[in-house]
Structure 1
Amino acid sequence: MTTATLNAMPARRGGNPIRRAEGWLDARGKAAWIAATVVGFVVFWPIGLALLAYMIWGKQMFKGNCSTARQGRFGHTAFRSSGNTAFDSYKADTLKRLQDEQDAFEAFLQRLRDSKDKAEFDQFMEDRARKQKTDVEGDALDA
């Protein structure tokens, strides 16, 4: 039997109730952990906070998530040889092209953010100058 199976089994005599609850939640997956955290917050917020902290630092929340799939696609396995040199060359060229496109797109987004920031700043300066001009004209009329 695996450790997960043993943890999921109820203890026959006594045992640590926290370990039994952990095994029970592990057997039912992430949804059970999330539901337990929500219930913990509803019942008494420190319980929910403790469960949330345990899930994050106990790495329950991040086991088998998208990062492992992403690492499998673009990590070290992407550069493993398939044995076919023509395909490996095509794959390397395609990955390089995709990386270049991603870099160009990120640079474009940065330029777009910068131009938006500049436009907002220019608008602010125009509004400020217009307000100062109105204030100066109003003071001149009052005098």
Structure 2
Amino acid sequence: MRLIDYFPEASISIINSANDWQEAIDFSMSSLLANHYVNAAYVQAIKDSTLSNGPYYILASGVAMPHARPECGALKTGMSLTLLKENVQFSADDEPVKLLIGLSAADADSHIDAIQVLSELLCEEETLAELLAATSEKQLADIIARA
């Protein structure tokens, strides 16, 4: 399965800004919620876990992968990608985030391949810079489709 195949319809978006990290989570999970990959409890579990444990899902400078445990309401395995034109701050100690990759993992194993490909993609500085500088959803989708 290719990385782009994990992204359901309308799951790649560019948003001007989020008022706070909670709204950024809502934006990043909205397509997964609308496409029935997660339920509302899953989105709340991400927020609750962030309040309890901090933003443990910040992967790299400017990049976060909000997710919760499968049993919290993940219905199907999939991903979303939300690029914020203006960074959002998750905590005073963490770097601001511009790119959110929402993850729904329906079980412990089904998303491992996608995470590996995504990790390789994000480790390529040039590709990460392309993602962060993208100006359209199509441009973002094309970058993901190359992976």
Greater helix proportion: 1
User: TM-score, length-normalised on structure 2?
Assistant: 0.18
Higher relative contact order (CA 8 A, sep 6+): 2
Structure number with bigger Rg: 1
Scaled by the length of structure 1, the TM-score of the pair is: 0.18
